[in-house]
Structure 1
Amino acid sequence: MDELESLTRDLVAISAHDDETAVGDRIESWLREHTDAAVERDDAPNGGNVIARRATGPRSPSGDAIAQRGPDETGDGDTSLALIGHHDVVPPADDQLADDGTYRVHREGGRLYGRGTADMTGALAAMLLAFREAEPAGDVVFASFVGEERGGIGARHAIQNGFSPDYAVVGEGSTGYSAPETVDVAVAHKGRRASTLRASGTAAHASEPEAGTNAVYRACDAVGVVRDLDAPETEVLGHRLAGSLVVTGIDGGGAWNVVPDACEVTVDERTVPGERAALARAAEIEGVAWDVEQDLPPMACDDAAFADAVTDAAAGAQAGAPTQVVKPHATDAGWLADTGTTCVVCGPAEPGEAHTDAESVSLDALRTCRDAYTAIAARWP
């Protein structure tokens, strides 16, 4: 068993769906034991983010200052590169959970099976080894966040406290988009805006409907507006990225003989960089209010040369020919890109593996990612 498989197994086995403290402890201790990086553990909810930096110049004694230092503060104009992942996972299926509360992990053929192998503990192991092995000319950061599966809690906390790398490779899945087993590079991904349209009316006895105002009718009018709206779309580095817009639920009324005075409609919108559907038009209907419940930002790489450099590194690490692709899923790259970090996504998970009861990752894809991350960091800047 090589070091990459061993470290992946070690990290995957640690329970991380209710509380990420233990796996964060393991990542932090590994960094302190195996690298000379300045390591910070912040106070983000549920165990804290782990952020480490290998700087080429003199290091500050303050972990915060090191982790948050931007190019204007280095004095020499250098830019920073971050390797970024998250160490929380979604709850395991029953057969993924051992009796002692750890996660089961096992190998079958060339794949590791277990909760988090694909999303994204395996990528974290690859990034840790790359962070240790590379000898960069510029500042390189490793960051693993809590709460990605709960709306980017850790990433948002870090950003609010000054975390702002210039460039980032986020280790979410990009394998198998162009061809099976090929590790590609995603230059954009969709975001997600979850909305509720709330229609209000006036209750009345159903035998005299004219005495009330039917909230369900108003909600249906709002649904009609949504159906007529165009879904957002854009182009990123020559790749078309199309969003979507769909009503996913409607709830109103409480009795057969009562005109309903309230009705709610839920709407799922997959957003694209710079574009949103004009949902405000639905709120122009009398008695209808529009509330955004969640807005996970999309990501678009704004530097073609960086995207090409990462793609070249991925090409040098595998037999297949990687291409630049777009992802349908939101990641922490959206929060970073939203605040000015140039991002791409490159990781071993394949479509359909994350969050499944039989979640697994290809060991070959893990090795490709480790070598690609090492090459990216070693060439930086």
Structure 2
Amino acid sequence: MDELESLTRDLVAIPAHDDEGAVGDRIEAWLRKQTDADVTRDDAPDGGNVIARRGPGDDVGDADTPTLALVGHHDVVAPADDQVADDGTYAIREADGRLYGRGTADMTGALAAMLLAFREADPAGELVFASFVGEEQGGVGARHAIERGFAPDYAVIGEGSTGYSASDTVDVAVAHKGRRASTLHATGTAAHASEPETGENAVYRACDAVDVVRNIDAPETEVLGHHLAGSLVVTEIDGGEAWNVVPDACAVTVDERTIPGERAALGDAEAIGGVSWDVEQDLPPMACDDADFADAALDAVAGVQNATPAQVVKPHATDAGWLADAGTTTVVCGPAEPGEAHTDTESVSLAVLHRCRDAYETLADRWA
């Protein structure tokens, strides 16, 4: 068993859903033992983010030295019953060149690859490794770090970008959509259903608001030659309390996939009497703003595989959105394939893990 597989197994086995701090402890200890980097642990919730820095000579922290960050997260979603071993650790098994277990794809495997690349690279500029908490809870750790000054010039987020252009091909995502989750609240006046004219039906008002949503055009844009289209869909309607009562309240949830730039005009629904609009979650989209960096990342992955990779677009949000929103030039590159994360059969290809490790090191060596 080589070092990358061993480290991946070691990190995956730690039950990170119950205690993010435990896997953070392991990552911090590894960095302190295996590297001479400046390692810090901040006070973010659930155990804190782990951030390490190293660079050429004494350039760590030099404002004139370009900074490249290798970024991941060490929290995971809850495991299925058969992903937990009898001793409480996460179960790991190998079959057909893949490691199976919670977090192998999203994204403990990528963390192991980034750790080894961070140690082995001869960086052209300041090199940062960062593993955040709370990505699965809306970017808690990333936002905490950014609010306290985490601001690399460039970043590679190790979320999945494999298998988008072709099966078994590590690609580079230069953009991804965000997600805005919101609710339209319609209020009315309750009445007996035998005399509906004495009340104001909140469900009718909610239906009028839904008609507004159906007629809103979702924005579209281009990122480095790639077309992105947002989307807007009503996902739930909840109103009424009895068969014979005119409802006085109704709620409509809306899932919006956002793109860099313009947002859908959901506030237009508030033109309906008795309707208000509340945003519960707003995960930002990401767009790489530097074609040269995107090309350098693509060259790095092209050099570690026989297949021809492509620059692609991901359909869902990652911590890359928070970093891009704060001004970091960002791409996404990692071993997970579409549809692999969060599943009861989650797995990652060992061969792809090695390619990603090599690509991260190559980019760190070359990019300044």
TM-score tier (shorter): over 0.9
The answer to whether the 8 A contact 2:162-2:169 is kept is: yes
Is the contact made by 2:304 and 2:355 (CA closer than 8 Å) also made in structure 1? yes
- Is the partner of 2:170 in helix, strand or coil? coil
Equivalent positions of 1:273-284 (< 5 A) are 273-284=260-271
How do 1:292-303 residues align onto structure 2 when only pairs under 5 Å count? Answer: 292-303=279-290
Counterpart mapping for 1:1-381 below 5 A = 1-58=1-58, 69=61, 74-75=62-63, 77-381=64-368
Provide the rounded CA distance (Å) in 2 between the counterparts of 1:288 and 1:99. Answer: 52
Letter in 1 for 2:12: V
**3-state SS in 1 of match to 2:70:** strand
| Corresponding letter in the other structure for 1:347 | G
Instruction: List runs of 5+ in structure 2 lacking aligned partners.
Output: none
Is 2:296–2:367's contact at 8 Å kept on the other side of the alignment?
A: no
> In the alignment, is the contact (CA less than 8 A) between 2:173 and 2:331 conserved in 1?
yes
- For each residue in 1:85-104, what CA deviation from the matched residue of structure 2 results, as whole angstroms up to 9, or x when unmatched? 00000000000011221100
**Offset at 1:78?**
1.9
User: Quick check: 2:56–2:122 contact (8 Å CA) kept in 1?
Assistant: no
SS in 2 for 1:280: helix
AA at the equivalent of 1:6: S
CA RMSD of aligned residues (A): 0.9
Q: Which amino acid aligns with 1:35?
A: T
Query: What one-letter code is carried by the residue in structure 1 that aligns with 2:278?
Result: D
Q: Secondary structure at the match of 1:7?
A: helix
Q: TM-score, normalised by structure 1?
A: 0.95
Kindly report structure 1 stretches of 4+ aligned residues shifted beyond 2 Å: 55-59
Is contact 2:231-2:257 (8 Å) kept? Answer: yes
How many residue pairs get aligned? The number is 368
Shift, 1:57, TM fit: 4.9
TM-score relative to the length of structure 2: 0.99
Which one is further off, 301-310 or 270-279? 270-279
1:173-227 CA-to-partner distances (Å, cap 9, x unmatched) read 0000011100000000000000100000111111111111110000000000001
Native 8 Å contact 2:284 2:321 kept in 1: yes
State the alpha-carbon separation in 1 of the partners of residues 225 and 217 from structure 2: 21
State how far apart, in whole Å, the 2-side matches of 1:284 and 1:52 are: 50
In 1, distance between residues paired with 2:106 and 2:131?
A: 13
Structure 1 residue 339 displacement after superposition: 0.5
Q: Following the alignment from structure 1 to structure 2, what is the Cα–Cα distance between the partners of residues 189 and 182?
A: 18
Which SS does the other structure have where 1:175 is aligned? coil
Percent identity between matched residues is: 79
